[in-house]
Amino acid sequence: MLFSKGIRIKHETRMFYMFIGFWIAMFIFINVIPMAYSFYLSLTSYDGLTTPVFVGFSNYLNLLKDYRFTGSILQTIIFTFFNITITLTISLLLANLLSGKIKGQGFFRSVLFLPYAVPIIATVFIWKTLLNRESGLVNMILGSINSSLSLNLLVKFPMASLISLFVWQLGGSMIIFLAGFQNIPSALVEAAEIDGASPSAILIRIKIPLLTPLIMYQIIVGIMLSFSIIVQPILLTSSPGAAFTAFLSQQPPSQNFFTLIYVFQQAFTNQSFGTAMAASWYMLLVMIAISLIFLRLARRFVFYEYE
Amino acid sequence: MNMNKNTDFMALKRSKPGADRGKVLTYVIIIIIVLLFVIPILWLLLSSFKTQSEMVTFPPTFFPQNPQFKNYIDALQKIDYFKYLVNTIVLSLIYTVPGIITTAIFGYGFARFNAPGKKIFFNILMVLLLIPPIAVLIPEYTFFTKLHLVNTYYIWLLWGIAGNPLFIYLFKQFFSYFPKELEEAALLDGCSYMGVLFRIFFPLSKPIIVTVSLLSFLTVYGDFMGPAILLSGDNTTLAVAMANGYVARNGILLTPVLLAGIVLYLIPVILIFVFGQKYYVQGFISSGVKG
Q: Show the 3-state SS of B70-104.
A: HHHHHHHHHCCHHHHHHHHHHHHHHHHHHHHHHHH
Mean pLDDT computed over every residue of chain A: 87
Tell me: pLDDT of B14 over 60.
no
Instruction: Name residues 224-283 of chain A within 8 A of B (Cβ).
Output: 224-225, 227-228, 230-231, 235, 239-244, 247, 260, 263-264, 267-268, 273, 276-277, 280, 283
Sequential DSSP letters for B187-199 = HHTT--HHHIIII
Of the partner residues B57, B162, B281, the one whose CB lies closest to the CB of residue A134: B57
The confidence score (pLDDT) of residue A2 equals 47
The confidence score (pLDDT) of residue B19 equals 63
What are the tens digits of pLDDT across the range B132-180?
A: 888 889 999 999 998 999 999 999 999 999 999 999 999 998 998 888 8
Nearest Cα residue in chain B from A23: B162
Amino acid identity of residue A169, one-letter, is Q
Q: Pick the range with the lowest mean pLDDT from A5-14, A98-107, A119-128, B259-268.
A: A5-14
User: Using 50, 70 and 90 to split pLDDT, how confident is the model at A9?
Assistant: low
Q: Per the CB < 8 Å rule, is A129 touching B118? A: no
The distance of B190 to chain A (nearest Cα, Å) reads: 16
User: Using 50, 70 and 90 to split pLDDT, how confident is the model at B288?
Assistant: low
Question: Is ipTM over 0.90?
Answer: no
Q: Per the CB < 8 Å rule, is B115 touching A240? A: no
Query: Which H/E stretch holds residue B125?
Result: helix B118-130
d(Cα B199, Cα B16) in Å, to the nearest integer? Answer: 57
Tell me: pLDDT of B20 over 80.
no
Whether B111 contacts chain A with CB within 8 A: no
Sequential DSSP letters for B258-271 = HHHHHHHHHHHHHH
What's the mean pLDDT in A196-208? 87
Task: Map A153-195 to HEC letters.
Answer: HHHHCHHHHHHHHHHHCCHHHHHHHHHHHHCCCHHHHHHHHHC
Q: Per the CB < 8 Å rule, is A22 touching B114? A: no
The distance of A288 to chain B (nearest Cα, Å) reads: 11
Looking at the domain that runs over B79-245, which CATH code has it been given? 1.10.3720.10
What are the tens digits of pLDDT across the range A204-223?
A: 888 898 898 889 989 999 99
- Best probe of the A interface among B46, B58, B149, B159, by most A CBs < 10 A, is B58
Whether B120 contacts chain A with CB within 8 A: no
The confidence score (pLDDT) of residue B130 equals 85
Mean pLDDT computed over every residue of chain B: 86
Domain boundaries, chain B: 15-72, 79-245
Q: Per the CB < 8 Å rule, is B288 touching A176? A: yes
* Of B164, B104, B95, B172, residue with least CA distance to B133: B164
d(Cα A291, Cα B63) in Å, to the nearest integer? Answer: 47
d(Cα A16, Cα B106) in Å, to the nearest integer? Answer: 9
Q: Per the CB < 8 Å rule, is B9 touching A186? A: yes
Give the rounded distance of the alpha carbon of B119 from its chain centre: 29
Q: Pick the range with the lowest mean pLDDT from A73-77, A99-103, A256-260, B257-261.
A: A99-103
What's the mean pLDDT in B72-90? 93
Of the partner residues A22, A243, A307, the one whose CB lies closest to the CB of residue B102: A22
- Say if residue A91 is exposed, middle or buried (CB neighbours under 10 Å; 0-12, 13-18, 19+): buried
The confidence score (pLDDT) of residue A258 equals 94
d(Cα A182, Cα A151) in Å, to the nearest integer? Answer: 43
Q: Per the CB < 8 Å rule, is A22 touching B113? A: no
d(Cα A156, Cα B252) in Å, to the nearest integer? Answer: 23
Percent of chain B predicted with pLDDT > 90: 48
Tell me: pLDDT of B252 over 90.
no
- Best probe of the B interface among A9, A101, A188, by most B CBs < 10 A, is A101
Whether B142 contacts chain A with CB within 8 A: yes
Q: Per the CB < 8 Å rule, is A135 touching B56? A: yes
The distance of B203 to chain A (nearest Cα, Å) reads: 19
The CB-based long-range contact list for A93-96 (8 Å cut-off, 24+ gap) reads A94/A170, A94/A174, A94/B33, A95/A174, A95/A175, A95/A177, A95/A178, A95/A180, A95/A181, A96/A177, A96/A181, A96/A203, A96/A207
Q: Which residues in chain A are closer than 8 Å to B136, comparing Cβ atoms?
A: 31, 34-35
The confidence score (pLDDT) of residue A20 equals 93
Of the partner residues B26, B247, B258, the one whose CB lies closest to the CB of residue A242: B247
Tell me: pLDDT of A303 over 80.
no
Nearest Cα residue in chain A from B252: A239
Of the partner residues B10, B60, B262, the one whose CB lies closest to the CB of residue A122: B262
Q: Per the CB < 8 Å rule, is B59 touching A228? A: no
The confidence score (pLDDT) of residue B250 equals 73
- Best probe of the B interface among A147, A244, A304, by most B CBs < 10 A, is A244
CATH 1.10.150.120 fits A58-301, yes or no: no
d(Cα B215, Cα B286) in Å, to the nearest integer? Answer: 13
What's the mean pLDDT in B244-251? 78
Please count the residues of chain B: 291
Sequential DSSP letters for chain A = -HHHHHHHHHHHHHHHHHHHHHHHHHHIIIIIHHHHHHHHHHTEE--SSS--EE-TTHHHHHHHH-HHHHHHHHHHHHHHHHHHHHHHHHHHHHHHHHHSS-TTHHHHHHHHHHHHHS-HHHHHHHHHHHH-TTT-HHHHHHHHH-GGG---HHHHSHHHHHHHHHHHTTHHHHHHHHHHHHTS-HHHHHHHHHTT--HHHIIIIIIHHHHHHHHHHHHHHHHHHHHT--HHHHHHHS---SSHHHHHHPPPPGGG--HHHHHHIIIIIS--HHHHHHHHHHHHHHHHHHHHHHHHHHGGG---S--
The distance of A67 to chain B (nearest Cα, Å) reads: 22
Percent of chain A predicted with pLDDT > 70: 93
Sequential DSSP letters for B223-246 = --HHHHHH--GGG--HHHHHHHH-
The confidence score (pLDDT) of residue A1 equals 41
The confidence score (pLDDT) of residue A224 equals 92
The confidence score (pLDDT) of residue B283 equals 74
A195-199, A251-255, B166-170: range with highest mean pLDDT: B166-170
Question: Is the CB of residue B62 less than 8 Å from the CB of residue B49?
Answer: no
The angle formed by the CA atoms of residues B128, A231 and B140, to the nearest 5 degrees, is 40
**How far apart are the two ends of chain A, measured CA to CA in Å?**
39
Whether A35 contacts chain B with CB within 8 A: yes
Of the partner residues B7, B121, B291, the one whose CB lies closest to the CB of residue A217: B291
pTM of the predicted model, to two decimals?
Answer: 0.89
User: Using 50, 70 and 90 to split pLDDT, how confident is the model at B282?
Assistant: confident
| Better-predicted residue by pLDDT, B258 or A143 | B258
